[in-house]
Amino acid sequence: MGAILNALFAVTIIFFTISSPTHGYDPLDPFGKIIIKWDLLQSLPGHHTVQVTIENKQEYRHVEKPGWKLSWHWENKEVIWGMTGAETTEQGNCSAFAASDNLPHCCLRRPTIVDLLPGAPYNMQVSNCCRGGVLTSMSQDSINHVSAFHMTIGSFPDEDTGEFIMPYDFDIGVPGYTCDNATSVTPTKFSTNKGRHKTQALATWEAVCVYSQFRSSQSPKCCVSLSAFYNQTIVPCPVCSCGCSSSHCVKPGETPPYLEQKHDPDEEVSPVVQCTKHMCPIHIHWHVKVNYREYWRVKITATNYNTMKNYSDWNLVVLHPNLKSVQQVFSFNYKSLTPYHDGINDTGIFWGVKFYNDVLLQAGEIGNVQTELLLKKDMGNFTFREGWAFPRRILFNGDECVMPSPDDYPRLPSSASSSSSFSSSVVSFDTILFCFLLLLLLA
Ligand SMILES: *[C@@H]1O[C@H](CO)[C@@H](O)[C@H](O)[C@H]1NC(C)=O
Ligand SMILES: *[C@@H]1O[C@H](CO)[C@@H](O)[C@H](O)[C@H]1NC(C)=O
Ligand SMILES: *[C@@H]1O[C@H](CO)[C@@H](O)[C@H](O)[C@H]1NC(C)=O
Ligand SMILES: *[C@@H]1O[C@H](CO)[C@@H](O)[C@H](O)[C@H]1NC(C)=O
Ligand SMILES: *[C@@H]1O[C@H](CO)[C@@H](O)[C@H](O)[C@H]1NC(C)=O
Ligand SMILES: *[C@@H]1O[C@H](CO)[C@@H](O)[C@H](O)[C@H]1NC(C)=O
């Protein structure tokens, strides 16, 4: 059994190595990327209007608070005269325009642009703006995964080249992403008059950004523990999954002084975790709860040990061969992810129900969310042996969680692994319980 488990582990490791998105390729989301699109809407000598759109085309990765921070490098001495739907973080040195009536919005060679916050003045808005730079994943939300702003571009006095030149060296300012230079694509068509008339951009360019967990952070951000009804042992997260306790952490009952400090809402705060053996900000527990004749039930709990953060729009991606037969998911949303559309849908995404558990609150008594799922047994493949009932991979917010070694998985009592009497006795127990409940209901 150990050998088989080890083989499984090795396969998982190999799979992770192959999929390890250092080069930005993710087999669970092969088309996942963020696209920065520039549409040139108007172009007069020395005065160009563009619409910039940032679209998150990833199934399960999202951009959370404090949001994207887009920057690029101008080719020549361009300036930004005005912006709607976003703003630059700095104006820079506009003293060359001191003699003119008004100053440009930004004169930097490398401007940094942030989204406006919700509730921005109406005349500063454009559609798809003003969400504080937050982009949802495509699976979770089909509207709020796009951000947009408009800007007018000119140039320094006596520096005007006339035509618009696309800038280079894009960065969306979210850890883990790198962007290519923009390339020219087919001009975007916009439909007006309820789709009866279509206009098109004068020119369109796209820059593609891809994610790598390795680039985002050296250490993992979550870990998995396992248990099953047939064994009392709870297999914990591997020790030091996300760092060791020598690193900084908060002991129970302790209020760290920096919690009381004011934080810059525009900065991502680095996690300060509660002290645990695994030291992860996020802990996932997978419990094989019940065995029925044709179904089995799993309980998944996600716990937040990060004292600095509420995870809004969190998601979990799970890989298990039985996910192709999900019968029911309680209190979470679920969608099957079938990246290759060839029927091997062993991967799914779970996320919270709006206004109920879509925010995983910071460490404390309410810092967890949980679900139960009912799976129909794949006759022929289903077994509680060899750790089959445990997940192959779990990702939290798109980052791989550390799993225990298969050698440590909860085992069936040895008497049961060689005969089927065990599972049938469980079935009959379930059946009795079920009949009992039915009687109660009827009574
Ligand atoms: C600002 O730009 C002007 C010319 O555009 C230059 O003469 C001046 O030295 C710059 N000021 C600073 C502080 O860099
Ligand atoms: C983008 O273009 C600039 C200048 O044209 C070049 O220096 C840079 O290496 C390019 N970046 C990438 C990622 O290709
Ligand atoms: C998380 O949410 C709770 C409840 O809404 C709030 O009291 C707390 O300040 C939030 N924490 C952070 C770090 O935003
Ligand atoms: C799995 O994929 C098949 C086709 O690819 C689809 O018919 C089926 O509904 C999927 N199962 C689930 C649970 O989504
Ligand atoms: C499960 O069993 C079916 C047929 O019994 C087979 O086609 C399928 O490949 C098996 N799946 C796995 C993951 O072993
Ligand atoms: C439960 O699983 C653990 C870990 O694999 C194993 O050491 C133990 O023997 C199992 N308990 C029983 C009663 O089989």
Is residue 201 over pLDDT 80?
yes
Residue entry with tokens 């979470």: 332
pLDDT in tens, 369-407: 999 999 999 888 899 988 999 999 999 999 999 999 998
Strand, coil or helix: 34: strand
Residue whose Cα lies nearest atom 14 of ligand 6: it is: 413
Ligand nearest to the CA of 344: 4
Ligand 3 and 363: CB distance under 6 A: no
pLDDT at 324: 87
Compute the distance from residue 99 Cα to the ligand 1 centre, in Å: 14
Ligand 4 and 338: CB distance under 6 A: yes
pTM value is: 0.83
- The number of the ligand 3 atom at minimal distance from the alpha carbon of 362 is 1
Residue whose Cα lies nearest atom 14 of ligand 5: it is: 381
Residue entry with tokens 């020790």: 239
Question: Rounded to an integer, what distance in angstroms lies between the CA atom of residue 269 and that of residue 175?
Answer: 12
Task: Out of 77, 78, 90, 93, give the residue to mutate to test ligand 1, the one with the largest number of ligand atoms within 8 Å of its CB.
Answer: 93
- The number of the ligand 3 atom at minimal distance from the alpha carbon of 308 is 13
Q: What average pLDDT does the chain have?
A: 85
Compute the distance from residue 373 Cα to the ligand 2 centre, in Å: 48
Structure tokens at 36: 């920065």
Compute the distance from residue 169 Cα to the ligand 2 centre, in Å: 6
Percent of the chain with pLDDT over 90: 63
Give the count of beta carbons closer than 10 Å to the beta carbon of residue 418: 10
pLDDT in tens, 258-285: 565 666 666 777 778 888 999 999 999 9
> In order of start, what are the domains of the chain with their CATH numbers?
33-214 (2.60.40.290), 218-256+271-412 (2.60.40.290)
Ligand nearest to the CA of 265: 3
Ligand 4 and 321: CB distance under 6 A: no
pLDDT at 435: 39
Ligand nearest to the CA of 179: 2
Name residues contacting ligand 1 (CB within 6 A). Answer: 93, 95-96
Compute the distance from residue 375 Cα to the ligand 5 centre, in Å: 15
Ligand nearest to the CA of 73: 2
DSSP lists the bridge partners of residue 304 as 282
Residue whose Cα lies nearest atom 12 of ligand 4: it is: 324
Question: Rounded to an integer, what distance in angstroms lies between the CA atom of residue 154 and that of residue 74?
Answer: 11
Cβ contact 370:300 at 8 Å: yes
Compute the distance from residue 235 Cα to the ligand 6 centre, in Å: 10
pLDDT at 61: 95
Cβ contact 258:296 at 8 Å: no
340 band by pLDDT with thresholds 50, 70 and 90: low
Task: Out of 360, 361, 365, 368, give the residue to mutate to test ligand 3, the one with the largest number of ligand atoms within 8 Å of its CB.
Answer: 361
pLDDT in tens, 236-254: 999 999 988 666 788 877 7
Residue entry with tokens 């209901």: 441
- The number of the ligand 2 atom at minimal distance from the alpha carbon of 179 is 13
Q: Where are the beta strands (DSSP E) in 162-230?
A: 168-171, 177-179, 183-185, 189-192, 197-200, 203-211, 222-228
Residue whose Cα lies nearest atom 13 of ligand 3: it is: 309
Task: Out of 309, 360, 362, 365, give the residue to mutate to test ligand 3, the one with the largest number of ligand atoms within 8 Å of its CB.
Answer: 362
Question: Rounded to an integer, what distance in angstroms lies between the CA atom of residue 81 and that of residue 48?
Answer: 10
Is residue 421 over pLDDT 70?
no
Count of all residues that appear for the chain in the document: 443
422 band by pLDDT with thresholds 50, 70 and 90: very low
426 band by pLDDT with thresholds 50, 70 and 90: very low
Name residues contacting ligand 6 (CB within 6 A). Answer: 231, 233, 408-411, 413-414
Query: Edge to edge, what strands does the sheet with 315-319 contain?
Result: 332-337, 347-352, 315-319, 393-396, 399-400
- Angstrom CA distances, 110 to 167, 219, 242, stand at 9, 31, 35
Buried b (16+ CB within 10 A) or exposed e, 231-261: beeebbbbebbbbeeeeebbeeeeeeeeeee
* Residue 419 or 355, more confident: 355
